[in-house]
Amino acid sequence: MPAARVLLVEDEAVLATALTDGLKQDGFAVETAADGLAALDLGMAGPFDVIVLDLMLPGLGGLDLCARLRDAGVDTPVLVLTARTTERDQLSALRLGADDYLTKPFSYRILVARLHALLRRTGVRRGTVLTAGDLTLDRASRRCRRGEADIDLTPREFSLLELLMSRPGQVVSKRHALDEVWDFALSDTESNVLEVYISYLRRKIDLPFGRTAIGTVRSVGYRLDPDGG
Ligand code: CA
């Protein structure tokens, strides 16, 4: 199982070193950045599962960094470490796209627990098999199963289901799904291709089994039931 990849953005060298050592011992793969601009480059380019972000940074502050990552469509979960303790600061961090925060000084054990919770919530799986109840998708063998039944998916259907299953319980917006699964720009008239493929998927993974794993969030997108429907 590959380790979850953490981008640790922290300019206090002693803390950064201690956290890096601890997280590595706890099975995370860790990259560090000590200033905001370096972190922005890494966050844009790197395939991280979670970002641990100090707010007071040289180069580019943590709040701006977070906002710029979100503006660029990077949806890696962000846990903010902040010495600021006012409610307003915490709210601005969350509003700018952070997923969670811890106030310094914090307990290392709590940090690790929060990271695991974030990774679970955002559907990061350390293996290649995604599951939602009795629905499984094996990225390595490209197999989809509902219980004991094998389900034959086209590559496009597979990619769409993989996207939904990679973040169970969360809304996947139509725009995001189109960007992820169809790697060309679709005009508005073509964008119902997503609805069409959702209906293909439902006919394969839900209807024959009397289930409803794929929910519609009206005019927003789709959400996969973490229990498999
Ligand atoms: Ca700092």
DSSP reduced 3-state for 52: strand
Highest mean pLDDT pick, 10-19, 65-74, 120-129: 10-19
122 versus 72: the higher-pLDDT residue is 72
Domains of the chain: 5-124 (3.40.50.2300), 128-224 (1.10.10.10)
- Ligand 1 centroid–CA 100 distance in Å is 17
- Ligand 1 centroid–CA 83 distance in Å is 8
Q: What is the pLDDT of residues 45-90, one digit of tens each?
A: 878 989 999 999 999 999 999 999 988 888 889 999 987 667 787 7
Instruction: Spell out which residues have Cβ within 5 A of ligand 1, the ion.
Output: 11, 54, 56
- Strands 78-82 and 50-54, how do they pair? parallel
- Strands 143-146 and 135-138, how do they pair? antiparallel
DSSP line for 77-132: -EEEEES---HHHHHHHHHTT--EEEESS--HHHHHHHHHHHHHHTT--SSSEEEE
- Ligand 1 centroid–CA 27 distance in Å is 25
- Ligand 1 centroid–CA 11 distance in Å is 5
CA-to-CA separations, 188 to 159, 177, 178, 191, 221, in angstroms, rounded: 21, 14, 11, 5, 15
At 127, the pLDDT band (50, 70, 90 cuts) reads low
CA distance 172 to 202: 16
- Ligand 1 centroid–CA 130 distance in Å is 36
**Whether 163 contacts 174, CB under 8 Å:** no
Give the mean model confidence (pLDDT) for residues 1-19.
89
At 123, the pLDDT band (50, 70, 90 cuts) reads low
Specify whether the backbone of 10 is left (phi greater than 0), alpha (psi in -120 to 50) or beta: beta
